[in-house]
Amino acid sequence: MLLSIGIYAQEHVDFGKKKEVISPEINPDKTVTFRLEAKEAKSVTVQGDCVPEGGALTKNEDGVWTFTTQPLAPELYSYSFNVDGIKALDPNNAFVTRDVATIVNIFLVGGGIADLYKVTDVPHGTVTKRWYESPTLQKTKRLTIYTPPGYEKSKDKYPVLYLMHGAGGDEEAWMELGRTSQILDNLIAQGKAKPMLVVMTNGNAGQTAAPGESSEGFVKPIFIRPEMFSGMTEKAFGDVISFIESEYRVKKEKASRAIAGLSMGGMHTIVISANFPNTFDYIGVFSSAMLQDKNSTVDFYQNMNQKLKVQKDNGFKLYWIGIGKDDFLYKKCVEFRSDLDTVNLKYIYKETNGGHTWSNWRVYLTEFVPMLFK
């Protein structure tokens, strides 16, 4: 009987020894190999920012499809497979992320700036999701808050960066896609950034929290929401500041507040900082501009040049703009910079390669944050 048990156990172990399919495999030369076992498939391709033109996998005798990229620069990359015309995730890669309603696999090629996107052996901040009351919107809304390492044991007061997402995003976007906590942990540990809170809001006025995280249930995320240009997000932003300054140990003067955002959130940043010119000393506009028509009837979008002039006259410490050369909002950004030049509002301008992508927005965050609260 003991012999039979031993044989069964050995057979059971052998059964589990099926050759593992590794995908993606980051090779020493920074090329990346994708693999997918699909014996009956007729064609398999890989698509993503790691293979801008797409890549066709080839099948071996075991039914495993393979494709190896060119050497890749350090970056956080996303991809998916296409199997006989159907999009598919990589079953051998457990790491995925959501951008609006699109789910993709991710992997990281280390080195250079991408090392800031890694979880490294440094003191870590704390990330929480908090609900707060917005009397202006008559809603209970949720936001994500990063507190720096040591906040819980300290009695110090900290400055705050309010960080806003783009269209289709929510209070999870900057954490999941922007690697905010990793970037802040690493920059603070390296002495390149001041310890600060980062408050990541939900900038959709009609939404209380990310899809699937509110009483709306499992609704499909959409890119353009009907309230996008209502001005209500900008009007209600004081509710966010009031909540943070009543619940957290933060400094409450203009010199200790920063606001930044990408795309739609960049427009929110422009409008909020101009309509409340005594509130923020640091402003960051990522891949954005005034996206609303100059003839808008929404009061928060009216007379923007005049408001920008008041903002300039009141003074601030940093107005930072970054955009990619191939960004679809590039022309709008040129027009907005012309408006700033007209009122003599001084700004720092950063132009990068690429377009309207998280690879640019992560870079902008790593450059903007070290300039804050000096």
- Looking at residue 17, what is its pLDDT? 60
Across the chain, which has 374 residues, the per-10-residue mean pLDDT values are 40 58 96 96 96 94 96 97 97 95 95 96 98 98 98 97 96 97 98 98 96 92 87 97 98 98 98 97 97 87 95 97 98 97 98 96 98 96
Reference 260, options 127, 135, 350, 325; nearest CA is: 350
**36 and 83 in contact (C-beta within 8 Å)?**
yes
Residue 316: name the closest of 368, 281, 345, 278 by CA. Answer: 281
Contacts of residue 361, Cβ cutoff 8 Å, sequence gap at least 6: 178, 262, 286, 287
Total-model pTM: 0.92
User: How far apart, in whole angstroms, are the C-alpha atoms of residue 87 and residue 328?
Assistant: 26
Q: How far apart are CA 144 and CA 176, in angstroms?
A: 11
Question: Would you state the pLDDT for residue 94?
Answer: 96
Domains and CATH numbers, the chain: 19-110 (2.60.40.10), 117-371 (3.40.50.1820)
